[in-house]
Chains A and B, each alone.
Chain A
Amino acid sequence: MSRVIPSPKQQSSIVNQSLKDPKNAQAISTFRALVQSCYGPTGRLKMIHNASGGHVTTTSTSQTLFRTMSVSNPVVKLIVSAVQSHTNQFSDGGLFAALLCSLLVESCLALLVPQQAAAKINEEVLHICLEYLQSENCLCKASLNVGDATMMLALVRSVLGSKPALMLNLDDLNFLSRLVLQAFLKSIPDTPSGTLSLSDIEYICVEGCSINNSRLEEGVLFETPKITKQYLAKVKPRKVHLQGGTETIKVALFNTSLSGDSDEFIDTAYEADVSISGDESVLRHLMQVAAHLVQLQVGVLACQKVVHPGVQKYLAENAVLTVDRLGSLHIVAVQRLTGATAIGTLHATINEDSIGHLQSVSTVQIQQKNYLHLQSSTSAVTTLVLCNRNEAALQEMKDVCITAHHVLCQTLRSPLVLCGGGCTETHLAAHLRTQVTMKEETLLAKLGCSKAQLYTTANNFARCLEQVAIALEHDGGCHVSDPVNHHHWLLPPWASTMVPAEAGVKTCACGMVKSDEIDSCSLIGHLSNQSLTSSVPEGHGKHDDDKGNCSLSLTGYMDQAAHNGVESSTSNVVLDSFPVKLNAFVIAVETADMILTVNRTIFDKN
């Protein structure tokens, strides 16, 4: 009789913590400082590793950071999981969401306003902001002409340039942006049928050479140390002539092991006559499968796992090239390239439908390593070969290129952009303050809170937005905004009382507004500067009360640039993707509100 003994369970211990517990506050504050220091093109990098040693990851992107960090504090865990759900869909904007969320939580906890009230006010403020952002009159939003390569390049450059771990200078940045855009264009199929589905780009990382050696290759590349040029000359895959005169190479794709130790056998004791040997039976069966493949005139056998050397030898003698140990990473790429269906069993007949097609098979040597190059005329799969001298920068480059590609795909779906460089945040903050003042009565009636509470919380919200803009720079500069356009300006540390033109700064942070167009500016991000009642902050320089007439819009700027056809003026403009930023903004505020409504956290050690 068997006995089942369950694993002993430890006694539950419950830890009850208030949200305002110092430990939580400290954790949120640390997290906020961490994310703030990573944010922006001059952000600082983080090295993540295990206490017991092991691989060191150097990064500043939220995806890598949150994936490799293991967080235990529940509040921070909540923020991290919310941001991860955003990045799973949009890839970019994770740091923005994390920073805004943690700033809101941290600052609201410190306010004298009750948490629940603050959460409600924040929600209302969010609606105001969303209304503005989604309206036609939004001055910091513009529609992107997807066919305009300059604008698309500017968008890609903004995504790539905001990642400091790449350590790209302007030339490298331009080069890489062009490459990413080319790869994106190549991944769009020529003849879309029904819904347009964009395929992913494959990436190969090559360490040891300069970024300028990066290039785009059609088809799929993967490293195969044993398949050298000489080997391929000896084992030429069979070509089959199709109707229409074209030649093709048939590909059979297996995702099960052909090494002789099949997973299909049940793990039990076998008994057989003495003349039967287990190994030989299995091998014989494998040979039968191989013979069947030869009969089907297959030219390439691709296997995710290992193929038995005896089978490889037999196939090689019959002009079938064996490519094994593809791994889960490359099997999908080969599947998409060839159109083959992965065969998962050795005991069923192989259908003609599951056979894929290839145009050519060749070898390429990159940095003294052998790569097998598979090309197909029908598939849009491309491989981006990325090169960098530094291994850490190379890993980051791959992740950032994937991000940039996703952003471009999002832009195809909804071609809207926002001003980057923190200008949208400052613009939004100023608009928010104006709107709250204007709609004061309605809001007070709706929310049922006091005027002081409303203004404090709304001001706090605006300040958090400005803090996000300020976090873009880490070299000690001054942050100001102009009263007309409310764009963000970065001034040298000693120029806090100067206007940008005097300080030598030519444009605002996004590049849209020129310094000769503005006469005054004021510091941002400080609570004391913003008076509760006044909507126009006091600043220095000449005051221009006529706000409405002179403010520029991104749409106007881009139309003018397109009209003039001057590339140089638009080449330095920083753009953010609208869908990405919007979703990040919403996630941040909603998560912050949710956290603020939490009163207690309860841990169960089991």
Chain B
Amino acid sequence: MVTPSGIPNGLDVLMTVASCAQSLLGPQRTLKCIIEDDSDPEGSVLVSTATDLLSNLNIDHPVGQLLNSACQSHHRTYGTGSKTLVCMVGFLARAARHCIHMGVPVSAVCHCLEEGVRMCCEEVEKTAVEVDKEIHQKSTNDVIQNSGLEVYTNPSLVAPVVKIASTSVTVDHQECSNESDDVDDISWYFDSQPETITPSSNAHNDTLQVQLKNVGTTITEDADSLQKSVEGKIQESNPLPPDDDDEEEDEFAACFEDNLPSQSSSNAGSHDKTTHKESAVTEPSKKPDMTQEGFERLLRSKLEERSSRNTRKLQIRSRHLGLVDFLPSETNPSLQLEDLDFLSVSKKTDNYPKESEFLQAKEGSSALTRLSQGLSHGRCFEMQLACEVTQQILEERQEISLVDIIHTNTCLVSGVGHKHSCVADGIVVKVGADQLASIVQGKNKQQNILVIDGDITENFCHRGYKKALEVSSIVYGARYGTHKVTKSWLERVQEVIVNYDIGLLIAKGIVDQDVMEVCMSMNCVVVQQVKYSTLQTLADATGAIIQTYVHNATSHDVGTVTSLELLELEDHTSQSTKGPLVLIKIVTPERTWSVVLCSLTKAELHDVEQHFWICINRLKNALSEGKVLPGGGSPELTCIRCLRDTTGADFPRVSLHQSTWLSSCIHQFRIVVFSSLAESFEQYLLSVMVNSGRFSSPHHARAELESLLEGKQESNISLERVLDQKQTLKTASIVDDYKVLVGVNQSTEHQMSKKRDSSLFGGKVGTHIFPRPVEEGKLETSRQEKSRTEMQQSSVCCGSWTEDSGRCIDGEVLDCMCKLAAWRSAASLVQLVLRTDTEIINGPKDDSYQVL
């Protein structure tokens, strides 16, 4: 029975399903919990990617299933960008529905939608920046030898309070990898007037740096309290004359004091510069030797000085639009002084030079690391691991493809903190703890390896084998002595292991208990339930040939393994108390690598793994395409601008068949469709902005977006200039702004900064450094440029991409080219649903529909 039912709501279905993924947009970590059944709590799943979300939702409607399959297909191809696809489908569906309601014929909507998206992709592609072709060579030279974790635990100056959302992310944005201009280096404060710089001033600097650094390390533990404390501090600050410093200093000191014990504990755990521990102990009441006034003067003079190299301010940015300047020079000067005052307490440390060395090392970090930071989109932890793996792949193979990435083995460990995650040289697998003796026996020795694709059980049959030929055996008379004893299956397996001296047996399926015992007695390590991709990697790397049956193995099928080691994670205590499983690392003659991902909970582990794969896929896409797009909303703004600028009539392409009546009046419809399309990009940006938490309502976000777009249009020429020039010129212009700001009289400045401060921490318009009501004409241009930089920069510092490229990325937020593929797929899906008008259901008769 066929029952057709009209689908007027295909677009509505797309919008509804896509709206589920809308809150995932943006840099903050959000998790969604999908509950299978109220009665079964075990059936619930935590997801944070659009692919997982759609695959776990049971969508009955065929249009929803189409969206799911489009998302899965995109994920299979690119490995990233699914959120963009799903959300853009929703926004484009809304735009299409709007056009239909306006009376535009369906064919015209489809045609113009495709035209518009194609035009946007072409425009955005023009803004793409080439990835340095020698990136892999540089990467081999400049690999930071420290493990990735250390980078996190030794951040340079940080501003934890201005993090957007969850606490764990705050650590991520502390990367600083400038070449020579270290934005986090505030030594310029003290450079110009050496005579006034006393050791205690140096101490100030040290303290400031160290304090802030330590503050950074405590993010994961104490961010809330710290945030509150600094917040409280800043909010209380009003245009205070310097003589109010004492009180405030005490308050701030009081807040800070609470954190000291935890700082020291974290310091002990997180990095090996133990002297910082000492630095954490601060006595708030101590004052610097320098007088308050002298210090103020020093600072002011420093601010007024124009040093192109050193006047970069510290900027803490979020991945989208969240540009906040924490550096005291930009906030209330009195606050700045108070901070320094407080922080200038006795803590002297000899570590400052070392600190600067570390910073120097960071400045010279590889282009690959910077690329990865730009593509991290708030997931710096996973991106760090991905970057390390990519470096290894590039060193090995000089180029990166999906096949190489698939050969990356991941090992998931739950119950251990995520900071133990690492990249290991070799294949890491889990084995039972009862095999510890065999493992220890085989340490640092060459072993033979046999790889089995299937179970190692007596009854196992290869795939496709339906039924064995059943033959009943008949024994005639007493012939026990005459017939030869056929070996049992177990004996045959044992024979193989003994003959070829197998030290490591890897199976895709389960292994029989008897075989396990036999292997343990012969010091052969057995690994079961290994993925096929890992089997293939192992086979290729060791020279083994994958077998289906153990007893079929010959000497040619056996491979060699360099050594077998017990993998110990950073925290020594955890290994022995791990439980029934231990991690072993198989080192092979050919280079292989594994990523050990750790998390405290199983649910989060899946999330970490998903994001690791997303990060590594982003890197792979960027490197294999050789181009990246400037991120931070820049592609969407480009699209909105070019869609708004294009009028229907002057669009050069007419690609409709000339016999249809649409071809003569398509330009009229084009205007409507293009404006709806621009609206959909705006909606996308607004979702990101609202999700970032920086705007209290969508209206503020909309106002901000409009102002940014207007700003962009007016200062187009200056934008080009900024884009093409080197960093130094750009910083000079920013410095100009500072000059202007500082030159304003104290009260106004305080007012503005107060407003700014409240806006920063009140979650209001936080993307402006300068206040909205532009009293000074001079501030206008700087604001526009600032807007542009805010939009585009979201990591810590601005670095020019490569020294020799003329094109400079003003910041480290980058997008992959697969974003454009996501747009195209979204547009094609919306066109498909737009053209569908009927659903035909095969099945029992349903009187609510028409029956055929």
Q: Which residues of A contact B (CB under 8 A)?
A: 26-27, 30-31, 34, 37, 41-53, 56, 58, 68-73, 76, 161, 164-165, 167, 169-171, 207-210, 230, 234, 257, 259-261, 265, 269-279, 281-282, 305-306, 308-310, 313, 317, 324-325, 365, 367-368, 389-393, 421, 473-478, 490-492, 495, 503-511, 572, 574
Contacts and interface: CB of A to CB of B under 8 A. Distances in A.
B471 A271 contact: yes
10 contacts: A37-B837, A47-B838, A51-B843, A58-B66, A69-B852, A169-B655, A273-B475, A389-B824, A507-B658, A511-B658
Interface stretch (B69-77, B150-158, B735-743): B69-77
Given A475-B662, A504-B664, 11 more contacts: A26-B850, A58-B836, A170-B656, A261-B467, A261-B468, A272-B471, A309-B462, A310-B552, A390-B825, A507-B658, A574-B659
Nearest to A493: B661
Contact of A34 (B4, B62, B471): B4
Contact of B836 (A42, A46, A70, A275): A46
Contacts of B402: 368
A463 B469 CA distance: 69
A491 to B, nearest CB: 5
Give the most central of B660, B664, B828, B837: most A CB within 10 Å.
B660
A507 B471 contact: no
B291 interface: no
Contacts of A477: 660-661
B540 A230 contact: yes
B469 A167 contact: no
B465 interface: yes
A259 B464 contact: yes
B316 interface: no
Interface stretch (B105-113, B382-390, B436-444): B105-113
A68 B4 CA distance: 13
A265 B469 contact: yes
Contacts of A308: 462, 465
Contacts of B473: 271-274, 276
A504 B665 contact: yes
Contacts of B4: 30, 34, 46
A419 B779 CA distance: 68
Nearest to B75: A208
Nearest to B843: A51
Given A69-B842, A270-B471, A393-B832, A473 B660 contact: yes
B836 A44 contact: yes
A275 B659 contact: no
Contacts of A271: 471-474
A45 B6 CA distance: 11
Interface in B413-455: none
The 3 tightest CB contacts between A and B, nearest first, are A51-B843, A306-B464, A504-B664
A495 B836 contact: no
A391 B471 CA distance: 48
For the side of the interface on B, what is the size category?
35 or more
Contacts of B472: 269-272
A511 to B, nearest CB: 6
A508 B659 CA distance: 6
B523 to A, nearest CB: 28
B85 to A, nearest CB: 11
B749 interface: no
Nearest to B826: A389
A367 B842 CA distance: 34
A272 B474 CA distance: 6
Contacts of B825: 389-390
B2 interface: yes
Interface string B795-822: 0000000000000000000000000010
B659 A421 contact: yes
Given A259-B465, A270-B471, A505-B661, A58 B832 contact: yes
B664 A505 contact: yes
A605 to B, nearest CB: 14
B851 interface: yes
Contacts of A310: 548-549, 552
Contacts of B659: 421, 490, 505-511, 572, 574
Nearest to B5: A47
A367 B77 contact: yes
B831 interface: yes
A282 B829 contact: no
Nearest to A491: B661
Interface in B387-414: 401-403, 406
B95 to A, nearest CB: 17
B462 A475 contact: no
Nearest to B74: A208
Nearest to A511: B659
Given A44-B835, A270-B472, A510-B659, A208 B484 contact: no
A305 B836 CA distance: 39
A305 B463 CA distance: 11
Contacts of B62: 47, 49, 56
A98 B240 CA distance: 86
B2 A71 contact: yes
B60 interface: yes
B658 A70 contact: no
A78 B141 CA distance: 76
A274 B77 contact: no
A313 B465 contact: no
Contacts of B567: none
B657 interface: yes
A274 B472 CA distance: 8
Contact of B552 (A71, A261, A265, A313): A313
Contacts of A278: 468-471
A391 B73 contact: yes
A272 to B, nearest CB: 5
A15 to B, nearest CB: 14
A34 B7 CA distance: 13
Contacts of B406: 368
B729 interface: no
B114 interface: yes
Interface string B163-185: 00000000000000000000000
Nearest to A170: B655
A44 B465 contact: no
B840 interface: yes
B470 A490 contact: no
Contacts of B25: none
A169 B483 CA distance: 77
A317 B655 CA distance: 58
A495 B114 contact: no
B63 interface: yes
Nearest to B483: A275
Nearest to A265: B469
Nearest to B469: A278
A323 to B, nearest CB: 14
B474 A164 contact: no
Contacts of B663: 505-506
